[in-house]
Each structure stands twice: as C-alpha cells, then as structure tokens.
Chains A and B, each alone.
Chain A
Amino acid sequence: MAASRYKVFDIDIGGYVESVVAWIQSNLGVILDAISVGIDAIISVLEDFALWVDPLVMALAIVAFGFWRVGVGFGAFCLVAMFLVIEMGLWSETMSTLALVLSASFVALAMGIPLGIAMARNDLVEQIVKPILDFMQTMPPFVYLIPAAIFFGLGKVPGVIATLIFAMPPVVRLTNLGIRQVSQEHIEAGLAFGCTPRQLLTKVQLPLAMPSIMQGINQTIMLALSMVVIASMIGAGGLGNTVLTGIQRLNVGLGFEGGLGVVLLAIILDRITQTFGARRGPGLFTRVGRLLTQRPTGTS
C-alpha cells in the first residue's frame, strides 16, 4: 500500500463522527424527541387527511387544481394520471408519498427561505452557509439515512428528515440569489421613498425575488420527490416502498409501476408549482380579497 506509507497522524474521521453522533444521542435526547414529535405531527395530519378523503373526491380536486392553475390540457393530463394511479392500485402509496414530500418540503421551506434571506443580507452568513450547502448537496443521499435512523429510528420521521436535508439547498440558494439580483435602482427607489430595512425586504426585495424563490421552491419539491425512493429504505413507505419491493424481488413490473407513480406525481407537482412563479397579476388571495371588499357596481 503506497499511500499508507504517508499515513502518519492516524486521523479517524469516521470515529469522530461516530462519537459526535453518540454524544448527540445521549445528551440531546430531549431536542431529538421534540423534533420527532413535531415532524410526526405534520406528516400524520397530512397523510391522515389525504387518506381520509374519498379517492374520487381527492382525484377530482387535483384535476380541478391543475385545470385552474395550468390549463385545459394539463387538467386532462391530471385526469389520466389519477386514473392510472387508482387502476394500478397505488392510491394509498401515492397519497402517503405526497404527504411525505409536502411535509418535508414544508419544513425545508420554513427553514430554507429565512436562511436564504439571512444570507442575502449578510455576506458573512453567506460565506458560512455556502460550503454547508455544497456539502449537503454533494454528500450521497444514502449517507443521511444512517444518522437519521440512529436519531429517529425507522419510519416516516427519519424519512422526512433525510429528505428535507437533501432537498433544502435549492430554495436557500435561489432565495439568496433572487434577493441579491434585485437591481440597485429598485433598492434605491425603496430607500428614497422612505422604506425602513424591514419594508425594503417585504415591499421591494422579496416581491422582486419571488420568481427566483418560486423556482427554488419548485426545485426543493422535486428533490424531495426524488429522495422518497431512497428514504423508503428506512421505512418511509409510500411509492418508494413499492419500487424497493420491486428491486428486492427483481419484479420489473412492480418496480415500473412504482416508478411511474413517482413520475406522474412529479409532473403534477412541478407544473403546478411553476405557475406560482409567474410574476404578473394579482395572486389568488388578492383576487378573492378584492371580490369580497369591492361592492358590485351599478346596483345600489
């Protein structure tokens, strides 16, 4: 062994990591439990709801949503996709995966967007966070499964945690980038009209960064979906489990069906979330608000 000749210091990185993990496990148990309870609450509520609703109602709601946000053609696609999922007998797996993806994405966004804002406002924070994001994105995702399983056991909670770590970087990066790309003149306009730093953020920087942030949200949801198959190895369940079973039994048909379910879900989530990045025009809430506040004209 040529390299071992230069191995002088005997640095045992793996050993250090193990002792850190062991220390966390024995000393930060309360925090781990709190995280576990919180995540479990989110995913249980979502999953229970998705499975409690009658499949036909849920499927039609998804079709209607696709029709409203994207268009007629996409509504038709959603209809076909929902039909296929039900006919393949993968409805509960699909809903379970949807719940897992949405809860992991929700936590990733709740942490990632504020982190991205902090990065944009402070160069030091950016310098510290950037290498951590690089680490999170380049570390093979399987590696997260081990500490996640150690800290949180097997099941959906470690699945969500491994998924959110893997999926968070894009929204952090694109929030940071979007805010930093707001033109100097827009910032100056905000300041010249007397914005406080907080108003500058909420009235100028965030709205102008919104297309970029929405792209980050879209990317995060997509990455979360691509992690579900891996997360099923620690018992996250859902469509990933179907694929995993297909692999274990060398059952091509079953594996393909599970994979197809993931693809259909990915397309639906992708197209729908992309429509929120479009910049112009009032959003749903503004429009509904206007309908409620504006009195109909002509009749008085």
Chain B
Amino acid sequence: MSKLTVRDVYKVFGPQPQKVRALIEAGRGKDEIFAETGHTVGVQAASFAIEEGEVFVIMGLSGSGKSTMVRMLNRLIDPTWGAVEIDGQDITQMSTRELTALRRRDMSMVFQSFALMPHQSVLHNTAFGLEVAGIPRSEYEERALRALEQVGLRANAHSYPDELSGGMKQRVGLARALAVDPSILLMDEAFSALDPLIRTQMQDELLELQREHRRTIVFISHDLDEAMRIGDRIAIMQDGRVVQIGTPQEIVTQPANDYVRSFFHGVDVTQVFGAGDLADPECVAVIGGRGSQAASTRAGAPAVLVADDGAYRGMVANGAADTEPDPAAPAAVRGDTDLHTLIGQVAHSDWPVPVIDEHGRYLGSVSKSALLETLNRAG
C-alpha cells in the first residue's frame, strides 16, 4: 500500500463548483472556464501514489496548481472532488477532530517564508506542534532541543527569529516540522526564498536527514535543479493537471510535452546523470559471461571481457583476436560516478570507458559520441 494516494482530485475555486464539472470534462481550458463562469480551476484530475520513504517533488510554474495540490494533502484546502488517502484512510471524509489529530500525529509542513512566530524563542517555535498537541513542557522542550540539534541550531535555542539569517530561520522551520516526528513532511517551496548557496546546502542537509531517517517527503518546487537533486520521483504540473510523473532521468530523457521540455532548458545534466545512466551494453561487444556475443565482435574493434558471473575482467583492442585484457585499456568506473569525472575519463581515452556496478559487474560502456549526445540533448 502506498503511503499517500491521491485519486482523481479536483479543486475549483468559486461559489458553485458543480457548474464547472461538465466544462472541465468537456476538456475546456482553464482560462476559458474562468472567462465563462468566474470559477478558477486550481487542480484537475490529479492522481498519483507516493511510496513510504520517497522524496516526491511536485514541480510547475506559478499558477500550475502545485501549492494548491500540497495543501489538499493536509486539507488546508479541501478538495472539491476526489480522495486523498493516507495509509489507506481517506482524509477528505474525516471530521475536524480526526483531521486535527492527523495533523498533529502524521504530518507537518515547512513554508516558503518560514512562518515562524516572532514573539517566541527559537526553542518555542520549534516546540509549536508539540505544545499545541498538549505535550507537557518538560517533554516538548527536550524534543524541540533534539530537533534543533538535528539542524545544527541547538546553540541558538534562546534566540528570537529576527536575530537569525534566512537560512537559519528555515532550519528552525524544518526543526519545527521534525520535532513532531511526522511520517509525512510537506515542504512548500521550502528553500525558494534562500540564496543559491544556502539553498544547495539545505538540500544536502535534507538528503542527509533522509539518510538517517527516511520519511515520506512531498516537496514543492519550481526549480528543476532542486527537483533533480532531491527528488526520487518528480510530478510535473501544468494548468492544474499532472502532465508527467517519473524519475529525474525519465523526465529528462522522455519529456511528455514541450512544457516539460522547457523546464530543463539549460539545466545542468551533470547533476542528473551518473555514469550508470549512460552506460550502454550495446556500445562495445562483450566476450564471455552469459550469452556470449563473441560472434558479433568485429576484427579490429575493441571488446569487453566478462567473467561467467558477469564480473568485468578488462578490455581488448581487437575483439576477434585478443583474449587477455589489454593494459592500455581505461580503468572501469563505478555506475554512481558523476558526469564531471566521467567527462575527463572519456576525453582522455581512445577507448569507450567501461562502467561497473558496486559488485564489479559490467553494466555497459560510454563512448565519446554517447556522452556528447546526452550533454547536447539537455543543453
């Protein structure tokens, strides 16, 4: 079962949304519906499932409905139609009381402009969710201090928000969300207000926190670099519709439409891909291993030697003649090698560069032309 499932969710803003349903189903555009009825279609026909422990990024330009979408996950905005299920329970059917309990127990949120309480110390801001839930002071202070420790702000516990920099404020926002130990973390453009250097730093810290304790994170962003860095999967929204869901690699290599393509115009693909993503098993002939392709080796063309268990043994200059690894062949690189390093290896070698996984098994090779093609596609 997925942690969080969104089924056919719509949000229409306006006094009589039922009037608009037929127009949406007839496929009329958002602007057209607004001109005709004065109703704004925030989100339409959104369906997706988020798995436990996944970082799910919802991306889109402003007005694409991504902020509305994330607010429907904890019902800060009520969906007009459709269901939002958390651990199989439909939250749209919950009473106010159940909803409050759910918000205290299972989910917390980080906001773009931090939304800290200026009259309270960092410690009390961090403890906000615990205090609201009625946890006694001695316990909430201790838990808040632990959360502050996780974001490296324990020393600032008795400062006030206006004494902190933007990055520190958002760390308090993050600590406030972590203090209640939620299974779901909603982050609404959480790092967008920070300057680029601090933003990258916060992304790294978030990934580090994920390594220590995996939570389900729904992250809203308009920045593809950010989405690529932290997202396990990305959903792209356009005019209230989810137009594509996929891993960062899938989105870059198979964009669903021009809107999606326009996002990574100029995106740094070296952040997205590792050597493993580019490794092509067909690039170089393989000798040995299961399904030996010795027959396909051409005289004079290089080939890869693979042991029976798939382990990489080396390369030979002439696949038809040689059987022992050639010492002049380039060293194999691991699949998680980033493209910056890979570019150097490929550039300095006359051979395609072989790629292996963490167990030493051969994955494929990267040729100069394949690498250039990838860099060009996203450029």
Q: A: which residues have CB within 8 A of B?
A: 183, 185-186, 188-196, 199, 203-204, 207-208, 210, 279-281
A188 touches B111 (CB 8 A): yes
Known: A203-B132, A281-B160. A192 touches B119 (CB 8 A): no
Interface of A is mostly: helix
Can you list 19 pairs linking A and B with CB atoms under 8 Å apart?
Answer: A185-B112, A185-B113, A186-B115, A189-B111, A191-B76, A192-B108, A192-B109, A193-B109, A194-B101, A194-B104, A194-B132, A194-B133, A195-B132, A196-B100, A207-B117, A208-B119, A210-B119, A279-B119, A281-B160
Docked Cα-Cα span, A191 to B160, in Å, equals 22
B117 touches A194 (CB 8 A): no
Q: Which of A193, A207, A280 contacts B103 (CB 8 A)?
A: A193
Per-residue interface assignment for chain B, residues 130 to 151, with 1 indicating a CB less than 8 Å from any chain A CB and 0 otherwise: 0111000000000000000000
Q: Which residues of A contact B101 (CB under 8 A)?
A: 194
B118 touches A193 (CB 8 A): no
Per-residue interface assignment for chain B, residues 80 to 118, with 1 indicating a CB less than 8 Å from any chain A CB and 0 otherwise: 000000000000000000001101100111011101011
Docked Cα-Cα span, A208 to B100, in Å, equals 22
Which residue on chain B has the smallest CB distance to residue A283? Answer: B119
Q: Which residues of A contact B100 (CB under 8 A)?
A: 194-196
Q: Which of B71, B119, B129, B160 contacts A193 (CB 8 A)?
A: B129
B76 touches A188 (CB 8 A): yes
Q: Which residues of A contact B71 (CB under 8 A)?
A: 188
A279 touches B118 (CB 8 A): yes
B162 touches A193 (CB 8 A): no
Q: Which of A185, A199, A210, A279 contacts B132 (CB 8 A)?
A: A199
Docked Cα-Cα span, A185 to B188, in Å, equals 11
Docked Cα-Cα span, A30 to B113, in Å, equals 55
Q: Does B362 contact A (CB under 8 A)?
A: no
A192 touches B160 (CB 8 A): no
A297 to chain B, nearest CB (A): 14
Q: Does B186 contact A (CB under 8 A)?
A: yes
B118 touches A208 (CB 8 A): yes
B180 touches A193 (CB 8 A): yes
A189 touches B104 (CB 8 A): no
A186 touches B117 (CB 8 A): yes
Q: Does B64 contact A (CB under 8 A)?
A: no
Per-residue interface assignment for chain B, residues 177 to 190, with 1 indicating a CB less than 8 Å from any chain A CB and 0 otherwise: 00010000010000
Which residue on chain B has the smallest CB distance to residue A282? Answer: B121
Q: Does B351 contact A (CB under 8 A)?
A: no
* 7 closest cross-chain pairs (CB), A and B: A194-B104, A193-B129, A189-B115, A192-B109, A194-B103, A185-B115, A207-B119
Which residue on chain B has the smallest CB distance to residue A184? Answer: B115
Which residue on chain A has the smallest CB distance to residue B180? Answer: A193
Q: Which residues of A contact B111 (CB under 8 A)?
A: 185, 188-189
| Interface hub of B112, B115, B120 (most chain A Cβ within 10 A) | B115
| Interface hub of A189, A199, A281 (most chain B Cβ within 10 A) | A189
Contacts A186-B117, A193-B129 given; 20 further ones with Cβ under 8 A? Answer: A185-B113, A188-B71, A189-B115, A192-B74, A192-B76, A192-B107, A192-B186, A193-B104, A193-B108, A193-B128, A193-B180, A194-B104, A194-B133, A195-B100, A203-B117, A203-B128, A203-B131, A207-B120, A208-B118, A279-B119
A280 touches B162 (CB 8 A): yes
B305 to chain A, nearest CB (A): 58
| Interface hub of A190, A192, A204, A208 (most chain B Cβ within 10 A) | A192
Q: Which residues of B contact A207 (CB under 8 A)?
A: 117, 119-120
Q: Which residues of A contact B103 (CB under 8 A)?
A: 191-194
Docked Cα-Cα span, A210 to B118, in Å, equals 11
Known: A188-B76, A188-B109. A193 touches B132 (CB 8 A): yes
B105 to chain A, nearest CB (A): 8
Q: Which residues of A contact B128 (CB under 8 A)?
A: 189, 193, 203
A204 touches B117 (CB 8 A): yes
B117 touches A208 (CB 8 A): yes
Q: Which of A189, A195, A280 contacts B118 (CB 8 A)?
A: A280
User: Could you tell me which residues of chain B, from 46 to 82, have a CB within 8 Å of some CB in chain A?
Assistant: 71, 74, 76
Q: Which residues of A contact B180 (CB under 8 A)?
A: 193
A293 to chain B, nearest CB (A): 10
A7 to chain B, nearest CB (A): 45
B365 to chain A, nearest CB (A): 50
Q: Which residues of B contact A208 (CB under 8 A)?
A: 117-119
User: Could you tell me which residues of chain B, from 236 to 283, have a CB within 8 Å of some CB in chain A?
Assistant: none
| Interface hub of A188, A193, A195, A204 (most chain B Cβ within 10 A) | A193
B132 touches A189 (CB 8 A): no
Per-residue interface assignment for chain B, residues 312 to 333, with 1 indicating a CB less than 8 Å from any chain A CB and 0 otherwise: 0000000000000000000000
Known: A185-B111, A192-B108, A194-B101. A280 touches B119 (CB 8 A): yes
Docked Cα-Cα span, A204 to B115, in Å, equals 10
A175 to chain B, nearest CB (A): 16
Which residue on chain A has the smallest CB distance to residue B103? Answer: A194
Docked Cα-Cα span, A190 to B108, in Å, equals 10
Q: Which residues of A contact B76 (CB under 8 A)?
A: 188, 191-192
B108 touches A280 (CB 8 A): no
Which residue on chain A has the smallest CB distance to residue B99? Answer: A194
Docked Cα-Cα span, A185 to B193, in Å, equals 14
Q: Which residues of B contact A204 (CB under 8 A)?
A: 117
